[in-house]
Amino acid sequence: MSNKILYILVPDDHISPFDVTLATDAGFTQILPFTGVEIKDVMPMVQDAIFCRPPKRFNDTGIFIGGRDVHMATDMFQNAKNAMVGDFQVGVFADPNGAYTTSGSIVALVEQSLEMKTGSGLKGRSVAVFGTGPVGLSAAVLSAQEGAVPMLCQLTADDDKDVANRFCERFNVNVPWVSAQTHEEKVEIVKSAEVIISAAKAGIRILGKEELDYAENLLVAADTNAVPPSGIEGIDAHDKHKNVKMEKAEFNGIGSLAIGNLKYKTQFGLFEQIQQAETAALLDFREAYEYAATELHRADKKKQAA
The CATH number of residue 160's host domain is 3.40.50.720
Residue 225's pLDDT is what?
95
Residues 82, 115 share a domain:
no
Residues 214, 67 share a domain:
no
Spans in the chain with pLDDT lower than 70: 1
Residues 105, 13 share a domain:
no
Residues 6+ apart with CB under 8 A from 1: none
Residue 23's pLDDT is what?
97
Name the residue range of residue 41's domain: 5-98+262-305
Residue 300's pLDDT is what?
83
Residues 29, 150 share a domain:
no
Q: What is the DSSP string of 208-277?
A: -HHHHTT-TT--EEEE---SSSPSBTT--TT-EEEEEE-SS-EEEEE-HHHHHHHHHHHHHHHHHHHHH-
Residue 6's pLDDT is what?
98
Residues 243, 147 share a domain:
yes
Residue 1's pLDDT is what?
56
Residue 90's pLDDT is what?
97
Q: What is the pLDDT of residues 159-196, one digit of tens each?
A: 889 999 999 999 999 999 999 999 999 999 999 999 99
Residues 288, 214 share a domain:
no
Residues 233, 127 share a domain:
yes
Residue 90: CATH number of its domain: 3.40.50.10280
Residue 230's pLDDT is what?
94
Domains contained in the chain, number: 2
User: Is 0.85 surpassed by the pTM of this model?
Assistant: yes
Single residue among 222, 242, 258 that ends a domain in this structure: 258
